[in-house]
Structure formats: structure tokens, C-alpha cells
A and B are shown apart, each in its own frame.
Chain A
């Protein structure tokens, strides 16, 4: 399910079945010319990923709006803010919280996060619409779905 009116209507009817949250973490910065392409590309890939995961597991997983943050900043205050999201989410009966990201700097702050971090080594370039890329993404999505299921 997504953060959309239609989906939320369904959620309210079937709360007891939807117990898992996925929050994509995507860095943003416009200041470094030589990293712009990579940054935007990874952002697109992660959005695609999150959507595919949501599609596979839509009846049990709610995909939250992406959390964007400035790439260069200290992760501690960001983790605090994210934990506020989690606190709010947990007013509803959710038991599994996953953060999904390509940004390895979260790895060092994993402990501070109130949930499970799924860090994926990023694809740094390529053509999002090519057949090969589809294959790669399909394959990775299957693995992440498998991983999420192992927590259920």
C-alpha cells in the first residue's frame, strides 16, 4: 500500500493484515557538479525498487513517503527525526519497520535507527530502461522481498 487515498481507505478496513512499513531514504544535494548524475540516478533506482517491493507485497506492506535529507549532514539528527516518524507510525499496529537506502553512511548509524536498515550497494550508472537493468532490478527485488519475508 502507498500513501494514497485509495490505499489508505483499504488500509483502514484491513489494519490487522498490514504490519510492515518501508521507508526509502534518499539523499539530495545539488552542490557537487560531479555527483549530480549519480545522485539522481540512484534516487530514481531506489524509487523504482521501493515501488516494486510495494507491488509484490502490497497486502502487507505500507510504503511511506520517501525521506529526503541533505547528503553531507550529520546522520544523528536525521536518525532522531526518522525515529519520530516511527513513533508516529507505531500508534497503528505496525510491527516491522524497514529503512531502505543506497547510502552507506546510514550503516554507521544503524543502531540509532528504530527499525531495520536494508542497505543495498548502489548501481552507480546505467540505463534505467534497458533490458539488463530490468533483469538486475527484478533479481534484487526478489531478494529483498525474500529478506523482508524472513522477518515475518
Chain B
């Protein structure tokens, strides 16, 4: 009997505390913009290092090839492995190019020669977006900007890639 009574009061107690927590959370929401600004854990992602994408520079040809790799990313609440991809090739000046496969229209994944109708171009399957080999968007197709370009570096004959940035900034 007394045990039962205790249980009920415990439940009530928890209920009260939860109401209290609710109020606390509401208060938390009010201050959160400030928190975002000062709390490093809540910042968008960790920036910085270039990653080894396991591709030897000697193996890069003039034909764009898809490279996939993984990086650790802290994004708000989660720390996770994120997969990244790039289209990598050597241009006519023998310089290494690495383009982001994310279409600048609405974000689908583009492929090199993804459509038989458009050889020698990157092609987006979603709304027929197209890009020339140098990443420039083909006028008259939905994308309004060139493909993003990865920060790149060669160390000991291996290709390292960093972040993708709008063309002209990387």
C-alpha cells in the first residue's frame, strides 16, 4: 500500500520536473541563436584538412573518372563518416582538375558522358543539365553556374582533395 503510494508520488514528481524541463527548453530556444554563434560544437562542420583519395597522380588520364572517398565530419549533433565524390582528370595543360558531381541546379549527381546524346560533357539526369568538360554550364540548360571545384594538392605522387568551392575560388 505504502509502496503504491510512493509510486504515484514519484510519477507526479517526474511529471512536475518534466514540465520544468519543458520550460527550460523553451528558454533554450530563445537563447539558441546566441549559442550557435559562440558554441563551437554547434558549428556546421569541421573544416580544414585535405584528404588522401587513394589515387596516384600517374593514374590520372584526360578522361574524367569518378573518385569516391570518406571523411569524418562533425555536423551539429552528429559525428559521422560522409562520402564524397569527384570527377578527376588532366586538362589540356596537363593540370589536374577535380569537379564536384553535385549539379548546380538542384543538386543531383552528374556523370561524365551520362547521356549518349551529349558526348564530351557532364550530364545531369534530373532535368538534362549539362556542363562542358571545363565545368562550365551549357547555356540553355537548367544549371546557372559551373560545377564546384575541389581544393587539390599533390603529396608524394598522391592526390589530396579538400573542399569543393565555386569555380574561381579554389
User: How many chain B residues touch the partner (CB < 8 A)?
Assistant: 11
Q: How far is the CA of A17 from the CA of B127 in the complex (A)?
A: 8
Bound-state Cα–Cα, A56 to B142, Å: 17
Is there a chain B Cβ closer than 8 Å to A115's Cβ? no
Q: Which of A10, A56, A59 is B127 in contact with, Cβ under 8 Å?
A: A59
Residues of B close to A149: CB separation below 8 A: 125
Q: How far is B124's CA from A59's CA once the two chains are assembled, in angstroms? A: 10
- Does B106 contact A56, Cβ atoms closer than 8 Å? no
Contact residues in A for B127 (Cβ distance below 8 Å): 17, 59-60
A57 interface contact, C-beta 8 A = yes
Asked whether any CB of chain A lies closer than 8 Å to the CB of B108, the reply is yes
CB <8 Å contact, A14 and B109: no
A-side contacts of B124, CB under 8 Å: 59
The CA-CA distance from A18 to B108 in the complex, in Å, is 11
A55 proximal to B (CB < 8 A): yes
A83 interface contact, C-beta 8 A: no
Interface residues of A in 17-55 (CB under 8 A from B): 17-18, 55
B interface residues with partner A (beta carbon < 8 Å): 103, 105-109, 124-127, 142
Taking A17-B142, A145-B125 as given, write out 20 further A-B residue pairs in contact, using a Cβ cutoff of 8 Å, ordered by the A residue number: A10-B106, A14-B106, A17-B126, A55-B109, A56-B108, A56-B109, A57-B108, A57-B109, A57-B125, A57-B126, A58-B106, A58-B108, A59-B103, A59-B106, A59-B107, A59-B108, A59-B124, A60-B126, A60-B127, A149-B125
The 9 tightest CB contacts between A and B, nearest first, are: A59-B106, A60-B126, A59-B108, A59-B126, A58-B107, A56-B109, A59-B107, A57-B108, A149-B125
